[in-house]
Amino acid sequence: MAEFFRSLSTAAIAFLLLFFFSSHFVKYSCAEKYLFVQGKVYCDTCRAAFETELTEYIDGAMVKLECRDIEGGHITYSLEGVTNSTGVYRLPVQGDHAEEICEVFLVKSPLPDCSEILKGGASARVQITSDDGVADNTRYVNSLGFLKTKAIDGCVNTLLEMDLPPEAMVPESTKN
């Protein structure tokens, strides 16, 4: 009887080791081939230069990921994507780009009245490597926004509720 339990515990240990190494293999051989870059694109309806409770997220906005080598600034990786109905994009990125500078850029808004790119808010940097201590394979990027041609009703109150003066709004574009 003791021999039975000894062989049973040996079999259990062997099974656990097999399970551990097989799941470890699957994790690093399949799932880690891609990292994902994810972010949101919004319409800044208040021209506040940040998201507010009146912000609308844009379906169909185009973004572009570019990675450049640190030395010469040459593009080493490029990928475009489009946002879904909640304004979210999720770009599958092949390879490790630890030695590169990667940024997501706004390319185009499908909304004619919300297509002005805020100065200084056209891109966001992202570190794309699996060697950064982050267990998740998704790298999150700060939201990027287009400016509404004219602020919508309710923006003044929204800014005042945030203890910001209405003058904090980005002036309306003078482009025709």
| CATH number where 157 lies | 2.60.40.10
Who wins on pLDDT, 7 or 127? Answer: 127
Domain that holds residue 46: 34-168
Residue 34 near residue 53, CB atoms below 8 Å: no
Task: Count the neighbouring beta carbons within 10 Å of the beta carbon of residue 93.
Answer: 20
Q: Which two tokens stand for residue 58?
A: 């844009």
146 within some domain: yes
Eight-class DSSP state of 108: E
CA distances from 62 to 4, 82, 116, 173 (A): 64, 5, 13, 22
Domain count, the chain: 1
CA–CA separation, 143 and 2 (whole Å): 63
97 within some domain: yes
26 within some domain: no
Letter string b/e over residues 120-146, b meaning 16 or more CB atoms within 10 A of that residue's CB: ebebbebebbbeeeeeeeebebebbbb
Q: What is the mean pLDDT of residues 140-167?
A: 92
Who wins on pLDDT, 30 or 13? Answer: 13
Q: Are strands 34-44 and 88-94 parallel, antiparallel or unpaired?
A: antiparallel
25 within some domain: no
Who wins on pLDDT, 11 or 23? Answer: 11
Residue 154 near residue 49, CB atoms below 8 Å: no
Q: What is the mean pLDDT of residues 138-146?
A: 96
1 within some domain: no
Q: What share of the chain is helix, strand, coil (3-state, %, to 5)?
A: 25, 35, 45
Residue 37 near residue 90, CB atoms below 8 Å: yes
Burial class (CB in 10 A: 0-12, 13-18, 19+), 21: exposed
The pLDDT, as a whole number, for residue 65 is 98
CA–CA separation, 136 and 130 (whole Å): 9
42 within some domain: yes
What mean pLDDT is reported for the chain?
A: 85
The pLDDT, as a whole number, for residue 66 is 97
Q: Label residue 118 by pLDDT band (50, 70, 90).
A: confident
90 within some domain: yes
6 within some domain: no
Who wins on pLDDT, 7 or 81? Answer: 81
